[in-house]
Chains A and B, each alone.
Chain A
Amino acid sequence: MLNFDFIGRTKIWLVLSGIFILLSFVGIFVRGFNYSIDFKGGSASTVKFKTAVSVEDVRSVLIKLGHKESVIQPIEHRSVGEFGPQGAQSSGSEMLIRTKELSSNEEKALFDALNGKFGVIDRETRTVDASWGSQITERAIYALVLALVVLLIFISIRYEFKMSVAAILALFHDIIITAGIYALVGREINPNMIAALLTILGYSLYDTIVVFHRIKENSTNIVKTTYSAMANRSINQVLMRSINTSLTTLLPIIAILLFGGETLKDFAFALMVGTISGTYSSIFFASPIFVMWKEAEPYYRNLKRKYGEQGAIA
């Protein structure tokens, strides 16, 4: 049987989480997010050229048409059998071109020019008005608040209020860290991120619940030991399971990250960070906080006074 002392080192874990969160805030507030056109308006096009085209080639055409402030990025593909960055996609090179909001005519002019010069096989264009972003953000906040309220009620009824608060704190821990790492690596925030955040929310709670479920089960039978020792034993009991479930969740996410294409890459990255953080926080953040709070109750404080010495490890 595994036996690590998780609860006994509560302070270390909390300091560690504090550092992660602090770093995340630095990322969020100092570096800031890289918002997609969905939030700030503009046009984004994926263009597939017949031959290899360089960023400079494309830029020269864009400048001629007066789109000076555009961002041009080559798109790399991966495929099974060839794990290199320039994978075996259908031949031709792809570029992602972000410009200001293009009207129908400007769009046509731009792609006619590109087609004339380099030969375009296919393209995809997305144009978003700046005002749309505020609507998306508003909806996202509604969705998050709705989910949080429902989950708080659910966990309070099924488990107990203190558990639901600890679980939700762990959730914020995970969301802040995901957002922070996202900001630090400068990936793009798009509407799919809202889906990622809510999935992380679900997963973070899922993982915490697996641990709390066991703590709740064992709490009916605390004999000659402290609450924290019982909780520590519970964590050890579900540890292998927690690692396994996280791995099986991560494997498909990594598959999406590597092979899912441009649209899903950022989404999968957020999910990956959130899943890892969610596994970590359920053991090293939610459980210690809950146990600390629970042991403030007079009954368990008494137990701690009585069995505190040998109970720490048992």
Chain B
Amino acid sequence: MTDKQKHLISLGVVALLVVLSALLIYPVNKSTKLGLDLKGGLSVRYVAKDTPKAPVTEEKMKQAEYVLRQRVDGLGVAEPIVQREGARNIIVQLPGVKDPDKAKKILGKPAVLQFAIVTDQYSSITDMKQLNDLKKQGKHVLGPVLLTGDKITSARAAYGGQIGGQPEVNLSFNNEGANIFAQITAQNVKKRLAIVLDDKIITAPTIDEPIPDGKAVINGIRSIDEAKEIALVLNTGSIPVTLDIHEATSVGPILGADALRAGVIAGIVGLALVAVYMLLYYQGLGLVTWIGLSVYGALIWGVIAAIGRAYGWTLTLPGIAGVIISIGIAADSKIIIFERIKEEIRSKKSFRAAVQSGFWNGFRTSLDADLVTIFAALSLFLVGVGQVKGFALTLLIGLVIDIITMLLFTRAVLGLLAQVWPVKIPAFLVRMRGTSEVIESA
């Protein structure tokens, strides 16, 4: 394969990647998810605190996360995030939530677990979602609260009966609870007992027979995971650790839009300044950089869209800053290569030879330099907190794409230009002080 074919193939690969990026990006509102700071919403960071009575354990954190998730689901916000960070932090993000104050209150209140009988009128409905919807509309779905969760001593998920049995949850009550439970079950055989967490019906199994010994089985559960979740809730009924709010941010939608506009304007101005500078200093090669930077921008956005689609990653203002900074770095790499090529031309080489050796020498410097920044960004990503992580990630993406575009795009374009003007480079391509006579004599 000739060099020319190689260069054309690598440009073809670049074109393919750009098309792929475009497909990933389009439609923009689906692919590029904006963070809370740009879209508005509520973000709360809870940190579990040890108390003499209740030290923080992994199990308790899981329960706390579960209870928080239940409450968030109850708020009906699109795409909420509830996630653990480290051993003690739980982050809750509610993009676009209308009333942040109310949301914060609902998240923070102590959980209440209740048992109540489903009224006859609705006892035929087995779909929990439907039941909950009816309850929300104020329909008389449940009878009075008969028992509360504080009387449960243990709950355990298991497969019932023989091998291949259905998932179920085994409960034990304390003495008082056992008595009440025996009474309830005796009085309500064939009726359905709803287990309600924070006003939301989790499950409503049918009472098959009176249960006198304070040991109950909840069946009719779809999966063992669900059984485990229910056991978790029953075990605790409330968030088992003390959660302190360490950080809470609420952003209104108008200010979010202002921030987005500011970020985009800064990006466009930054890009324009770099583009003009490159054109003034490098002329024809500056134009090559323009295309290079456009390719670069398309690929970065493509990757951001890809991780947005795959992991629900959101772009925040620091993330946009990371992209803008990486524009500068991408231009740096081009400069290192161009300057190196100019130098090689000065040492009496033909344009073709200068491009060949100049690219690789310049690339090695750029690669080392990029790697150094990659290490710094990686440390920041691994150890950093919150929004700083977003900055580190876009910077990392930018650096990796810089290396890729240098190899696939810059190299191919320079190589093809050297095919066209193998010996003497035309003045419009690169302005070189004090070299023209050197080249002519070469």
Q: A residues within 8 Å of B by Cβ?
A: 38, 46, 48, 77, 79-80, 89-90, 104, 107-108, 121-129, 131-132, 135-136, 139-140, 142-144, 146-147, 150-151, 154-155, 158, 191-192, 194-195, 198-199, 201-203, 205-207, 209-210, 213-214, 217, 237-238, 240-241, 244-245, 247-256, 258-261, 263-264, 267-268, 271
Contacts and interface: CB of A to CB of B under 8 A. Distances in A.
A209 B246 contact: no
A150 B375 contact: yes
Nearest to B265: A259
A249 B329 contact: yes
A146 B328 contact: no
B385 A136 contact: yes
Contact of A255 (B324, B370, B383): B324
A145 to B, nearest CB: 9
A259 B266 contact: yes
Contact of A195 (B253, B259, B328, B392): B392
Interface stretch (B57-65, B161-169, B272-280, B296-304): B272-280
Given A123-B252, A147-B379, A254-B273, A132 B388 contact: no
A195 B384 contact: yes
Contacts of B258: 48, 89-90, 261
B255 A123 contact: yes
Contacts of B329: 249
17 contacts: A48-B258, A126-B247, A127-B247, A127-B249, A135-B47, A139-B385, A151-B376, A155-B372, A191-B386, A198-B392, A213-B368, A240-B339, A241-B336, A245-B336, A247-B277, A258-B269, A264-B317
A213 B340 CA distance: 12
Contacts of B250: 124-126
B377 interface: yes
- Chain A CB count within 10 A is highest, among B101, B104, B244, B252, for B252
B368 A248 contact: no
Contact of B254 (A90, A136, A260, A261): A90
A164 to B, nearest CB: 11
Contacts of A194: 380, 384, 388
Interface in B312-358: 317-318, 321, 324-325, 327-329, 331-332, 335-336, 339-340, 343
Contacts of B361: 217
A65 B277 CA distance: 53
A213 B365 contact: yes
A251 B273 contact: yes
Nearest to B45: A132
Contacts of B388: 191-192, 194-195
A252 B365 contact: no
Nearest to B289: A248
A146 B324 contact: no
A248 B332 contact: yes
B376 A147 contact: yes
- Chain B CB count within 10 A is highest, among A46, A147, A192, A255, for A255
Contacts of B270: 251-256
A87 to B, nearest CB: 10
Contacts of B273: 251-252, 254-255
Contacts of B233: none
A42 B379 CA distance: 29
A256 B324 contact: yes
Counting from the closest, the 3 A-B pairs by CB-CB distance are A252-B270, A261-B262, A202-B376
Chain B interface helix/strand/loop/mixed = helix
A139 B253 CA distance: 31
Contacts, number: 238
Contacts of B217: none
Contacts of B373: 199, 202-203, 205-206
- Chain B CB count within 10 A is highest, among A90, A245, A258, for A245
Nearest to B257: A90
A192 B253 CA distance: 22
Interface residues of B, number: 75
Interface of B: 37, 45, 47, 101, 104-105, 244-256, 258-259, 262-263, 265-267, 269-271, 273-274, 277-278, 281, 317-318, 321, 324-325, 327-329, 331-332, 335-336, 339-340, 343, 361, 364-365, 368-380, 382-388, 391-392, 395
A2 to B, nearest CB: 11
A256 B372 CA distance: 23
A249 B244 contact: no
Contact of B255 (A104, A124, A144, A198): A124
A209 to B, nearest CB: 5
B412 to A, nearest CB: 22
B380 A263 contact: no
A79 B266 CA distance: 9
A256 B321 contact: yes
A293 B149 CA distance: 73
A261 B317 contact: yes
Given A251-B277, A260-B266, A210 B387 contact: no
Given A210-B365, A248-B332, 8 more contacts: A131-B246, A135-B47, A139-B383, A206-B370, A206-B372, A255-B267, A260-B263, A261-B262
A142 B383 contact: yes
Contact of A244 (B269, B335, B343, B368): B335
A90 B257 CA distance: 10
A254 B269 CA distance: 9
B259 A128 contact: no
Contacts of B274: 248, 251-252
Contacts of A79: 265
Contacts of B372: 151, 154-155, 202, 205-206, 209
Nearest to B100: A125
Nearest to B388: A195
A81 B392 CA distance: 31
- Chain A CB count within 10 A is highest, among B245, B340, B388, for B388
B255 A146 contact: no
B384 A154 contact: no
Nearest to A123: B252
Contact of A252 (B104, B251, B324): B324
Contacts of A121: 254
B37 to A, nearest CB: 7
Contacts of A90: 254, 258
A264 to B, nearest CB: 5
Contacts of B45: 132
A132 B91 CA distance: 13
B369 A210 contact: yes
Contacts of A155: 372
Given A121-B254, A139-B385, A248-B277, A126 B248 contact: yes
Contact of A129 (B246, B252, B365): B246
